[in-house]
Chains A and B, each alone.
Chain A
Amino acid sequence: GAVVSQHPSWVICKSGTSVKIECRSLDFQATTMFWYRQFPKQSLMLMATSNEGSKATYEQGVEKDKFLINHASLTLSTLTVTSAHPEDSSFYICSANRIGAAFQETQYFGPGTRLLVL
């Protein structure tokens, strides 16, 4: 149990276009979903935290108009990178807390989405 999927797994787009990444909890309902960014050979940096039906909380330095997060249901969150530029190229990983889990703080991670902006 506690499987998180992401779609697409990789995407290449032209500069200026917008890209949507989906994060789904497949076999559980999530209290909270998180979006991280990971640069090559670096650690994960939390971008934002989202709860179903409410606005996302963004970390300092993350542009909310650039990285739009929609948390439509207890099993789906989407991250839209608007007007993508080459510097947005990165590995984006989502995670989710599991409703009813013994330890609600434990996060289960998706496989990641690699974005390359040309």
Chain B
Amino acid sequence: GEDVEQSLFLSVREGDSSVINCTYTDSSSTYLYWYKQEPGAGLQLLTYIFSNMDMKQDQRLTVLLNKKDKHLSLRIADTQTGDSAIYFCAEFTGTASKLTFGTGTRLQVTL
């Protein structure tokens, strides 16, 4: 199967860390991505990780991958109001040669 699941909503206070989780079922995925979508806009690529990696850090973003459990997470350090958006994880599977997107998590950052 190619279902990619995310929790619908996350609310954090400005300055705290946010952790957005994603679970997938296709073990043949080769790359996993995190995209950000602001209201009425397209998707902005935030970061990606190879399936043979456990962790990747890019400034305030940390991606953790547990391939055994098919679990991906995105940690945003020092969350700012500008981080409020919908975050999509996506997996690329070589067999299908396409991206499968998660259901999206709406992140709300409060003051």
* B-binding residues in A (CB < 8 A): 4, 6, 34, 42-44, 46, 49, 93, 95, 103, 105-112, 114
Contact = CB atoms under 8 A, between A and B. Distances in A.
Contacts of A105: 30-31, 92, 99
A109 B99 contact: no
Interface of B is mostly: strand
Interface of B: 30-31, 33, 35, 40-45, 48, 88, 92, 97-99, 101-104
Contact of B42 (A42, A103, A106, A111): A111
Contacts of B103: 42-43
A43 B42 contact: no
A106 B33 contact: yes
Contacts of A114: 40
A93 B42 contact: yes
A43 B101 contact: yes
B42 A110 contact: yes
Nearest to B4: A43
Contacts of A112: 40-42
B57 to A, nearest CB: 18
Contacts of A42: 103-104
Nearest to B102: A43
B43 A49 contact: no
B98 A46 contact: yes
A106 B48 contact: yes
Contacts of B48: 103, 106
A107 B99 contact: yes
B41 A43 contact: no
Given A109-B43, A114-B40, 12 more contacts: A34-B98, A34-B99, A43-B102, A103-B31, A105-B31, A105-B99, A106-B31, A109-B44, A109-B45, A110-B42, A111-B41, A111-B42
Contacts of A43: 88, 101-104
A108 B104 CA distance: 18
Nearest to B106: A41
Contacts of B98: 34, 46, 49
A105 to B, nearest CB: 5
B38 to A, nearest CB: 10
